[in-house]
Homo-oligomer: A and B are copies of this chain.
């Protein structure tokens, strides 16, 4: 099967060029000017951009949380991702408390296998740092699970204490893995949250005010320093606050291998969105949405490479029945937002269109940097020899985000009614067209598990 994409403008992280692309099988075979080759199919990309398929390194398909499960399966979630221009996800397998990493990994393979419509990898959430678990980490790195997530938040659930985190970091200093941290001081936050509920402040809004940005900054510095002493790199997930960004900057200025991602919700939404009574539950995630003045700081962080990646932390719960679990106590609202479908367009609209990012930097933060950071050398660029994960992107197409039209299996959208400019017209996953306008041509199970390499994390 050979597909020819003609007339488009290839936008890579390093250059913008006009050229045709021949996809042969699963790889990009030829890029050339006015290619004169035969193909089974030709896609006219005139007036469009061709970009590497976006990579979302932070998703939670079917995550169990607070007695329920994130709605999207690997099937619905990856389908929605594809419609949004994302052709790779890295999801978080979860070690069951008391169990082994292997058990968690097996469970996640089972969830994904035969269902994923695009390629996927796994990070491993470590719930329970024990000697045997530390040993297990080495094996997982060799199997392509080269990154591990721990939490300073969620005491009693995912929380690890500093000694445990430090030991896991020491292990990656030896085995080349990368520790990812949810950095909020959960112990202090839980005190405030409990006091709020005791005082009758049970609305979703108090989820936001219970979690001070200062406590995200604190935990961010803490895990960076633990990593420094352990001699390991560290990657901060879903950074939301100026205070946390300042700590990442400080570490990077000193030359430390500290990295961070942010998410569209922190760039576009704010604490105010949580304030409309229980409607605010739609926006409950952790870290919470911040006062609006944090947004521009995060854009600056992206521009200057203090934030290297934009992911989604996609973790959708229906407003009805799921978010409602916390109607009387914000602490019981399942944490998480849908977003895997919207990231590429939101970043294009608010980043490229509004002059905050060049098209090249946009490609870098949604695709190239995620691929490099997480050991996927075959992804992240439109280049000969790499996987033909390609998106024909129309930078001028206007559309309206809505739960009534989106493909995620969740009953609301955080961006309901937003008009955005830019959208994926055609999406190829390893050479196969899976999205063509509104048409879906993907196949559950066609997505492959990605055995990832160690992160080069030099930058």
Contacts and interface: CB of A to CB of B under 8 A. Distances in A.
Given A217-B225, A229-B215, A304 B33 contact: no
B29 A30 contact: no
Contacts of A255: 300, 303-304
Contacts of A304: 252-253, 255, 305, 459
Contacts of A188: 162-163, 166, 226, 229
Given A185-B226, A212-B229, A214-B225, A305 B459 contact: yes
Contacts of A377: 15-16
Contacts of A212: 229
A341 interface: no
A187 B10 CA distance: 47
Contact of A14 (B12, B22, B24, B155): B12
Nearest to A164: B187
Contact of A35 (B24, B30, B162): B30
A113 to B, nearest CB: 29
Contact of A218 (B187, B225, B361): B225
A292 B453 CA distance: 36
Interface residues of A, number: 70
A228 interface: yes
A353 interface: no
Interface string A382-422: 01111000000000000000000000000000000000000
A381 interface: yes
Interface in A169-195: 170, 185, 187-188, 190-192
Given A27-B33, A35-B30, A386 B14 contact: no
Interface string A267-304: 00000000000000000000000000000000010011
Interface in A31-67: 31-33, 35
A451 interface: no
Among A29, A35, A254, A384, residue most surrounded by chain B Cβ atoms (within 10 Å): A384
A103 interface: no
Which 10 pairs between the two chains have the least Cβ-Cβ distance? A30-B32, A163-B187, A15-B381, A218-B225, A255-B300, A19-B384, A13-B14, A17-B385, A166-B188, A162-B187
Interface of A: 10, 12-19, 22, 24, 27, 29-33, 35, 155, 161-163, 166-167, 170, 185, 187-188, 190-192, 212, 214-215, 217-218, 221-222, 225-226, 228-229, 249, 252-255, 300, 303-306, 356-358, 360-361, 364, 368, 372, 377, 380-381, 383-386, 456, 458-459
Given A163-B188, A303-B459, A356-B458, 17 more contacts: A12-B15, A13-B14, A15-B377, A17-B381, A17-B384, A17-B385, A31-B31, A33-B385, A163-B187, A185-B222, A188-B229, A214-B225, A215-B225, A218-B222, A303-B458, A304-B305, A360-B372
